[in-house]
Chains A and B, each alone.
Chain A
Amino acid sequence: MRLTILSLVISFGFLAMTVRAIRRRVLGEQVAMIWLGVSACMVLLSATLPTHLLDRAARLVGVAYPPELVLLLAALFLVVLVFHLSIAQAKLQSKVTRLTQELGLLKAGSPDGPTEDLERIH
Protein backbone atom coordinates (compact mmCIF):
# COMPACT_ATOMS: atom_id res chain seq x y z
CA MET A 1 0.00 0.00 0.00
CA ARG A 2 2.85 2.33 0.84
CA LEU A 3 4.35 1.75 -2.60
CA THR A 4 1.02 2.55 -4.25
CA ILE A 5 0.77 5.85 -2.40
CA LEU A 6 4.37 6.75 -3.21
CA SER A 7 3.99 6.05 -6.93
CA LEU A 8 0.64 7.85 -7.01
CA VAL A 9 2.28 10.92 -5.47
CA ILE A 10 5.06 10.81 -8.07
CA SER A 11 2.59 10.29 -10.91
CA PHE A 12 0.36 13.16 -9.85
CA GLY A 13 3.44 15.30 -9.38
CA PHE A 14 4.40 14.61 -12.97
CA LEU A 15 0.85 15.29 -14.14
CA ALA A 16 0.89 18.62 -12.29
CA MET A 17 4.22 19.50 -13.95
CA THR A 18 2.76 18.73 -17.37
CA VAL A 19 -0.39 20.75 -16.78
CA ARG A 20 1.66 23.66 -15.48
CA ALA A 21 3.91 23.57 -18.54
CA ILE A 22 0.87 23.51 -20.84
CA ARG A 23 -0.77 26.43 -19.03
CA ARG A 24 2.43 28.46 -19.30
CA ARG A 25 2.52 27.56 -22.99
CA VAL A 26 6.05 26.20 -22.90
CA LEU A 27 4.97 22.89 -24.47
CA GLY A 28 3.83 22.59 -28.04
CA GLU A 29 0.30 21.20 -28.51
CA GLN A 30 1.43 17.95 -30.07
CA VAL A 31 4.09 17.28 -27.45
CA ALA A 32 1.66 18.34 -24.69
CA MET A 33 -0.68 15.53 -25.74
CA ILE A 34 2.16 13.01 -25.57
CA TRP A 35 3.13 14.05 -22.05
CA LEU A 36 -0.47 14.12 -20.85
CA GLY A 37 -0.73 10.55 -22.14
CA VAL A 38 2.43 9.58 -20.26
CA SER A 39 1.10 11.17 -17.07
CA ALA A 40 -2.17 9.31 -17.45
CA CYS A 41 -0.34 6.00 -17.93
CA MET A 42 1.72 6.64 -14.81
CA VAL A 43 -1.36 7.41 -12.73
CA LEU A 44 -3.15 4.35 -14.08
CA LEU A 45 -0.20 2.04 -13.35
CA SER A 46 0.15 3.42 -9.82
CA ALA A 47 -3.55 3.24 -9.02
CA THR A 48 -3.87 -0.34 -10.22
CA LEU A 49 -0.86 -1.64 -8.28
CA PRO A 50 -3.04 -3.33 -5.60
CA THR A 51 -5.20 -5.07 -8.27
CA HIS A 52 -2.15 -6.68 -9.93
CA LEU A 53 -3.27 -5.39 -13.32
CA LEU A 54 0.35 -5.21 -14.43
CA ASP A 55 0.98 -8.87 -13.54
CA ARG A 56 -2.08 -9.96 -15.47
CA ALA A 57 -1.12 -7.84 -18.46
CA ALA A 58 2.40 -9.31 -18.41
CA ARG A 59 1.05 -12.83 -18.29
CA LEU A 60 -1.29 -12.00 -21.15
CA VAL A 61 1.55 -11.01 -23.52
CA GLY A 62 3.86 -13.73 -22.21
CA VAL A 63 6.33 -11.67 -20.20
CA ALA A 64 7.49 -13.77 -17.23
CA TYR A 65 8.74 -10.93 -15.03
CA PRO A 66 6.10 -8.13 -14.95
CA PRO A 67 8.45 -5.18 -14.29
CA GLU A 68 10.20 -6.07 -17.57
CA LEU A 69 7.01 -5.18 -19.40
CA VAL A 70 7.09 -1.66 -17.97
CA LEU A 71 10.78 -1.26 -18.82
CA LEU A 72 10.25 -2.59 -22.33
CA LEU A 73 7.37 -0.21 -23.02
CA ALA A 74 9.29 2.69 -21.49
CA ALA A 75 12.35 1.97 -23.65
CA LEU A 76 10.21 1.67 -26.78
CA PHE A 77 8.46 4.93 -25.99
CA LEU A 78 11.77 6.73 -25.45
CA VAL A 79 13.24 5.43 -28.72
CA VAL A 80 10.21 6.61 -30.68
CA LEU A 81 10.25 9.96 -28.86
CA VAL A 82 13.95 10.58 -29.57
CA PHE A 83 13.39 9.64 -33.20
CA HIS A 84 10.54 12.11 -33.41
CA LEU A 85 12.71 14.80 -31.80
CA SER A 86 15.56 14.09 -34.26
CA ILE A 87 13.22 14.76 -37.14
CA ALA A 88 11.92 17.93 -35.51
CA GLN A 89 15.49 19.07 -34.86
CA ALA A 90 16.56 18.45 -38.47
CA LYS A 91 13.58 20.45 -39.73
CA LEU A 92 14.43 23.32 -37.40
CA GLN A 93 18.06 23.14 -38.52
CA SER A 94 17.17 23.61 -42.16
CA LYS A 95 14.81 26.45 -41.28
CA VAL A 96 17.52 28.22 -39.31
CA THR A 97 19.96 27.73 -42.18
CA ARG A 98 17.56 29.29 -44.67
CA LEU A 99 16.79 32.16 -42.29
CA THR A 100 20.50 32.84 -41.80
CA GLN A 101 21.00 32.88 -45.55
CA GLU A 102 18.07 35.21 -46.12
CA LEU A 103 19.26 37.55 -43.39
CA GLY A 104 22.74 37.63 -44.89
CA LEU A 105 21.34 38.37 -48.35
CA LEU A 106 19.03 41.03 -46.95
CA LYS A 107 21.78 42.78 -45.04
CA ALA A 108 24.11 42.72 -48.03
CA GLY A 109 21.55 44.61 -50.11
CA SER A 110 21.73 45.18 -53.83
CA PRO A 111 24.91 44.40 -55.73
CA ASP A 112 25.69 47.99 -56.72
CA GLY A 113 26.30 49.35 -53.26
CA PRO A 114 28.18 46.70 -51.32
CA THR A 115 30.79 48.83 -49.56
CA GLU A 116 28.26 51.43 -48.59
CA ASP A 117 26.04 48.79 -47.04
CA LEU A 118 28.88 47.27 -45.13
CA GLU A 119 29.94 50.62 -43.71
CA ARG A 120 26.46 51.16 -42.47
CA ILE A 121 26.49 47.85 -40.65
CA HIS A 122 29.85 48.28 -38.98
Chain B
Amino acid sequence: MASGPPEADPVEADATAVPFGGTRLCIIVPAFNEGPSVAKVVVAIQSALPSAQVVVVDDGSKDDTSIQAADAGAHVITLPMNLGIGGAVQTGYLYAQRNDFDIAMQIDGDGQHDPREARFVIEPILEQRADMVVGSRWLGRGEYKAPSGRRLGMRILSRLIKWRTGQTITDTTSGFRAVGRPGIALFAQSYSSDFPEVEALVAAKQCGLVIEEVPVQMQQRLHGRSSIAGLQSSYYMMRVVVALVVDSLQWKEHP
Protein backbone atom coordinates (compact mmCIF):
# COMPACT_ATOMS: atom_id res chain seq x y z
CA MET B 1 0.00 0.00 0.00
CA ALA B 2 2.66 2.48 1.07
CA SER B 3 4.90 1.78 -1.93
CA GLY B 4 2.16 2.30 -4.49
CA PRO B 5 1.29 5.59 -6.08
CA PRO B 6 -0.36 8.05 -3.72
CA GLU B 7 -4.04 7.27 -3.67
CA ALA B 8 -6.61 9.94 -4.14
CA ASP B 9 -7.74 11.55 -0.95
CA PRO B 10 -11.27 10.32 -0.14
CA VAL B 11 -12.56 13.87 -0.01
CA GLU B 12 -10.93 14.70 -3.31
CA ALA B 13 -12.22 11.58 -5.06
CA ASP B 14 -15.57 12.36 -3.60
CA ALA B 15 -15.53 15.78 -5.21
CA THR B 16 -16.17 14.10 -8.56
CA ALA B 17 -19.77 13.87 -7.45
CA VAL B 18 -20.59 17.32 -8.71
CA PRO B 19 -23.93 17.71 -10.39
CA PHE B 20 -25.81 20.90 -10.97
CA GLY B 21 -22.83 23.22 -10.78
CA GLY B 22 -20.96 22.27 -7.63
CA THR B 23 -23.83 20.92 -5.57
CA ARG B 24 -23.00 17.51 -4.18
CA LEU B 25 -25.88 15.10 -4.35
CA CYS B 26 -26.25 11.87 -2.42
CA ILE B 27 -28.93 9.34 -3.37
CA ILE B 28 -30.01 7.15 -0.47
CA VAL B 29 -31.50 3.83 -1.56
CA PRO B 30 -32.87 1.81 1.34
CA ALA B 31 -33.10 -1.85 0.33
CA PHE B 32 -34.32 -4.90 2.18
CA ASN B 33 -34.22 -8.16 0.23
CA GLU B 34 -34.32 -6.30 -3.08
CA GLY B 35 -31.70 -8.49 -4.76
CA PRO B 36 -33.72 -8.95 -7.98
CA SER B 37 -34.29 -5.23 -8.56
CA VAL B 38 -31.65 -3.21 -6.75
CA ALA B 39 -29.03 -3.37 -9.52
CA LYS B 40 -31.53 -2.04 -12.06
CA VAL B 41 -32.43 0.79 -9.73
CA VAL B 42 -28.78 1.70 -9.15
CA VAL B 43 -28.01 1.68 -12.87
CA ALA B 44 -31.10 3.76 -13.61
CA ILE B 45 -30.07 6.34 -11.01
CA GLN B 46 -26.52 6.48 -12.36
CA SER B 47 -27.71 7.09 -15.90
CA ALA B 48 -30.25 9.72 -14.83
CA LEU B 49 -27.94 11.47 -12.37
CA PRO B 50 -24.38 10.60 -13.47
CA SER B 51 -22.61 12.79 -10.95
CA ALA B 52 -24.60 11.77 -7.89
CA GLN B 53 -23.24 9.41 -5.30
CA VAL B 54 -25.52 6.38 -4.98
CA VAL B 55 -25.57 4.93 -1.49
CA VAL B 56 -27.46 1.69 -1.04
CA VAL B 57 -28.31 0.92 2.58
CA ASP B 58 -28.81 -2.82 2.81
CA ASP B 59 -31.04 -3.24 5.84
CA GLY B 60 -29.73 -6.64 6.88
CA SER B 61 -31.06 -8.44 3.81
CA LYS B 62 -31.04 -12.22 3.69
CA ASP B 63 -30.41 -12.25 -0.07
CA ASP B 64 -27.64 -10.85 -2.26
CA THR B 65 -28.80 -7.23 -2.19
CA SER B 66 -25.39 -5.93 -1.07
CA ILE B 67 -23.47 -7.79 -3.77
CA GLN B 68 -25.93 -6.82 -6.51
CA ALA B 69 -25.79 -3.18 -5.49
CA ALA B 70 -22.00 -3.10 -5.23
CA ASP B 71 -21.60 -4.82 -8.60
CA ALA B 72 -23.84 -2.15 -10.11
CA GLY B 73 -21.41 0.44 -8.76
CA ALA B 74 -23.18 1.79 -5.69
CA HIS B 75 -21.53 2.60 -2.40
CA VAL B 76 -23.05 -0.05 -0.16
CA ILE B 77 -23.64 0.25 3.57
CA THR B 78 -24.57 -3.17 4.90
CA LEU B 79 -26.32 -3.06 8.25
CA PRO B 80 -25.48 -6.12 10.35
CA MET B 81 -29.06 -6.31 11.60
CA ASN B 82 -32.44 -5.34 10.20
CA LEU B 83 -33.43 -1.95 11.57
CA GLY B 84 -36.56 -1.26 9.56
CA ILE B 85 -37.01 1.46 6.99
CA GLY B 86 -36.47 4.36 9.40
CA GLY B 87 -33.16 3.12 10.77
CA ALA B 88 -31.92 2.28 7.29
CA VAL B 89 -32.78 5.66 5.80
CA GLN B 90 -31.27 7.45 8.77
CA THR B 91 -28.01 5.61 8.13
CA GLY B 92 -28.04 7.22 4.69
CA TYR B 93 -28.56 10.66 6.23
CA LEU B 94 -25.69 10.05 8.66
CA TYR B 95 -23.53 9.15 5.69
CA ALA B 96 -24.61 12.27 3.79
CA GLN B 97 -23.91 14.48 6.78
CA ARG B 98 -20.48 13.06 7.53
CA ASN B 99 -19.42 13.20 3.91
CA ASP B 100 -20.58 16.77 3.61
CA PHE B 101 -23.25 16.43 0.95
CA ASP B 102 -25.42 19.39 0.00
CA ILE B 103 -28.52 17.44 -0.94
CA ALA B 104 -29.67 13.99 0.07
CA MET B 105 -32.42 12.28 -1.84
CA GLN B 106 -34.25 9.05 -1.07
CA ILE B 107 -35.17 6.66 -3.85
CA ASP B 108 -36.72 3.31 -2.96
CA GLY B 109 -34.79 0.18 -3.91
CA ASP B 110 -37.84 -1.58 -5.33
CA GLY B 111 -37.98 0.31 -8.62
CA GLN B 112 -41.12 2.24 -7.79
CA HIS B 113 -39.48 5.61 -8.21
CA ASP B 114 -38.25 6.70 -11.63
CA PRO B 115 -34.81 8.34 -11.24
CA ARG B 116 -35.50 10.41 -14.35
CA GLU B 117 -38.09 12.23 -12.28
CA ALA B 118 -35.56 12.96 -9.54
CA ARG B 119 -34.51 16.28 -11.01
CA PHE B 120 -38.01 17.69 -10.40
CA VAL B 121 -37.66 16.81 -6.74
CA ILE B 122 -34.17 18.30 -6.47
CA GLU B 123 -34.90 21.50 -8.38
CA PRO B 124 -36.71 23.44 -5.63
CA ILE B 125 -33.78 22.83 -3.28
CA LEU B 126 -31.24 23.90 -5.89
CA GLU B 127 -33.23 27.06 -6.48
CA GLN B 128 -33.42 27.52 -2.71
CA ARG B 129 -37.18 27.66 -2.75
CA ALA B 130 -37.49 24.76 -0.32
CA ASP B 131 -35.53 22.78 2.28
CA MET B 132 -37.45 19.60 1.75
CA VAL B 133 -39.24 18.36 -1.36
CA VAL B 134 -41.66 15.46 -1.63
CA GLY B 135 -42.46 13.82 -4.97
CA SER B 136 -46.20 13.22 -5.12
CA ARG B 137 -48.15 10.68 -7.15
CA TRP B 138 -51.37 12.61 -6.74
CA LEU B 139 -50.62 15.96 -8.26
CA GLY B 140 -51.67 15.16 -11.80
CA ARG B 141 -48.67 13.67 -13.55
CA GLY B 142 -48.58 9.96 -14.32
CA GLU B 143 -51.27 7.35 -13.90
CA TYR B 144 -50.39 5.66 -10.65
CA LYS B 145 -53.28 3.57 -9.45
CA ALA B 146 -54.11 2.69 -5.89
CA PRO B 147 -57.00 0.73 -4.41
CA SER B 148 -59.81 2.92 -3.12
CA GLY B 149 -59.18 1.79 0.45
CA ARG B 150 -55.64 3.00 0.28
CA ARG B 151 -56.71 6.25 -1.32
CA LEU B 152 -58.99 6.84 1.64
CA GLY B 153 -56.14 6.12 4.02
CA MET B 154 -53.91 8.55 2.22
CA ARG B 155 -56.58 11.22 2.39
CA ILE B 156 -56.86 10.72 6.14
CA LEU B 157 -53.09 10.97 6.54
CA SER B 158 -53.07 14.08 4.43
CA ARG B 159 -55.68 15.62 6.75
CA LEU B 160 -53.63 14.69 9.81
CA ILE B 161 -50.54 16.28 8.34
CA LYS B 162 -52.54 19.39 7.57
CA TRP B 163 -53.64 19.43 11.21
CA ARG B 164 -50.08 19.01 12.50
CA THR B 165 -48.25 21.26 10.06
CA GLY B 166 -50.85 23.56 8.58
CA GLN B 167 -49.68 22.55 5.11
CA THR B 168 -51.39 20.35 2.56
CA ILE B 169 -49.25 17.42 1.49
CA THR B 170 -51.06 15.04 -0.84
CA ASP B 171 -48.60 12.13 -0.80
CA THR B 172 -47.51 11.87 2.82
CA THR B 173 -46.10 8.35 2.54
CA SER B 174 -44.00 9.03 -0.53
CA GLY B 175 -40.42 7.91 -0.05
CA PHE B 176 -39.36 9.91 -3.11
CA ARG B 177 -38.05 13.00 -1.38
CA ALA B 178 -35.03 15.22 -1.05
CA VAL B 179 -33.62 17.54 1.60
CA GLY B 180 -30.90 20.14 1.74
CA ARG B 181 -28.28 20.55 4.45
CA PRO B 182 -30.62 21.52 7.32
CA GLY B 183 -32.80 18.49 6.57
CA ILE B 184 -29.78 16.19 6.40
CA ALA B 185 -28.63 17.42 9.80
CA LEU B 186 -32.11 17.05 11.28
CA PHE B 187 -32.70 13.51 10.01
CA ALA B 188 -29.17 12.36 10.87
CA GLN B 189 -29.86 13.44 14.42
CA SER B 190 -33.35 12.08 14.82
CA TYR B 191 -35.53 10.04 12.53
CA SER B 192 -38.57 8.04 13.47
CA SER B 193 -38.10 4.30 13.19
CA ASP B 194 -41.65 3.15 12.59
CA PHE B 195 -43.37 5.52 10.19
CA PRO B 196 -40.59 7.79 9.09
CA GLU B 197 -42.18 9.25 5.96
CA VAL B 198 -45.15 10.79 7.70
CA GLU B 199 -43.42 11.79 10.90
CA ALA B 200 -40.44 13.29 9.11
CA LEU B 201 -42.79 15.84 7.56
CA VAL B 202 -43.96 16.94 10.98
CA ALA B 203 -40.41 17.02 12.35
CA ALA B 204 -39.17 19.06 9.40
CA LYS B 205 -41.99 21.55 9.72
CA GLN B 206 -41.40 21.92 13.44
CA CYS B 207 -37.78 22.76 12.75
CA GLY B 208 -38.91 25.50 10.41
CA LEU B 209 -37.96 23.79 7.17
CA VAL B 210 -39.87 24.85 4.07
CA ILE B 211 -41.58 21.84 2.50
CA GLU B 212 -42.65 21.72 -1.10
CA GLU B 213 -44.48 19.02 -2.98
CA VAL B 214 -43.91 18.40 -6.67
CA PRO B 215 -45.80 16.13 -9.06
CA VAL B 216 -43.92 13.00 -10.18
CA GLN B 217 -44.69 9.83 -12.06
CA MET B 218 -44.33 6.61 -10.15
CA GLN B 219 -44.16 3.12 -11.58
CA GLN B 220 -45.73 0.02 -10.18
CA ARG B 221 -42.94 -1.70 -8.28
CA LEU B 222 -40.68 -4.15 -10.13
CA HIS B 223 -41.17 -6.94 -7.64
CA GLY B 224 -42.39 -7.62 -4.16
CA ARG B 225 -45.10 -5.85 -2.26
CA SER B 226 -45.36 -2.56 -0.52
CA SER B 227 -44.39 -2.65 3.12
CA ILE B 228 -47.87 -1.20 3.57
CA ALA B 229 -50.11 -3.71 1.81
CA GLY B 230 -53.47 -5.41 2.09
CA LEU B 231 -55.04 -5.80 5.51
CA GLN B 232 -51.90 -4.46 7.08
CA SER B 233 -52.64 -1.04 5.64
CA SER B 234 -55.46 -0.36 8.07
CA TYR B 235 -53.21 -1.46 10.89
CA TYR B 236 -50.52 0.84 9.49
CA MET B 237 -53.00 3.70 9.37
CA MET B 238 -53.97 3.16 12.97
CA ARG B 239 -50.39 3.16 14.13
CA VAL B 240 -49.48 6.25 12.13
CA VAL B 241 -52.43 8.07 13.65
CA VAL B 242 -51.34 6.99 17.13
CA ALA B 243 -47.74 7.95 16.35
CA LEU B 244 -48.83 11.39 15.18
CA VAL B 245 -51.00 11.97 18.22
CA VAL B 246 -48.20 10.80 20.50
CA ASP B 247 -45.84 13.03 18.60
CA SER B 248 -48.13 16.00 19.17
CA LEU B 249 -47.91 15.32 22.91
CA GLN B 250 -44.14 15.27 23.01
CA TRP B 251 -42.10 18.11 24.31
CA LYS B 252 -40.01 19.60 21.57
CA GLU B 253 -36.83 21.48 22.17
CA HIS B 254 -36.99 24.35 19.80
CA PRO B 255 -33.60 25.65 18.80
Give A residues with C-beta under 8 Å from B.
96-97, 100-101, 103-105, 107-108, 110-112, 114-115, 118, 121-122
Residues of chain B lying within 8 A (CB to CB) of residue A103: 79-80
Quick check: is B193 within 8 A (CB to CB) of the other chain?
yes
Q: Is the CB of B193 within 8 A of A104?
A: no
Our pick among A97, A110, A111, A115 for the contact of B70 (Cβ within 8 Å) is: A115
Among the listed B8, B71, B73, B78, which residue makes an inter-chain contact with A104, where contact means beta carbons less than 8 Å apart?
A: B78
**Interface residue B76 (Cβ < 8 Å from any Cβ of A):** yes
Task: Compute how far the CA of A101 lies from the CA of B90 in the bound complex, rounded to whole angstroms.
Answer: 8
Chain A residues with CB under 8 A of B53: 111
**Does B46 reach chain A (CB closer than 8 Å)?**
no
Q: A97-B87, A118-B70 are in contact. List 17 more A-B contacts (CB 8 A).
A: A97-B83, A101-B87, A104-B77, A104-B79, A104-B80, A105-B91, A105-B94, A105-B95, A107-B77, A108-B95, A111-B10, A111-B99, A114-B76, A115-B73, A118-B67, A122-B66, A122-B67
Which of B10, B70, B73, B83 is within 8 Å of A101, CB to CB?
B83
- Which residue among A103, A107, A108 has the maximum number of chain B CB atoms within 10 Å of its CB? A108
Main SS class of interface, A: helix
What's the tally of chain B residues with a CB closer than 8 Å to chain A? 29
Complex-state Cα separation, A111 to B52, whole angstroms: 12
- Residue contacts A-B, CB under 8 angstroms, 6 given: A97-B87, A100-B80, A111-B13, A111-B53, A112-B8, A122-B66
B83 near A110 (CB under 8 angstroms)? no
Most buried by B among A101, A107, A112, A114: A101
- B9-49 interface (Cβ within 8 A of A): 10, 13-14
- Decide yes or no whether B57 CB sits under 8 A from chain A: yes
* Residue interface bits B85-98, CB-to-A below 8 A is 1, else 0: 00100110011001
Q: How far in angstroms is the closest Cβ of chain A from B91?
A: 4
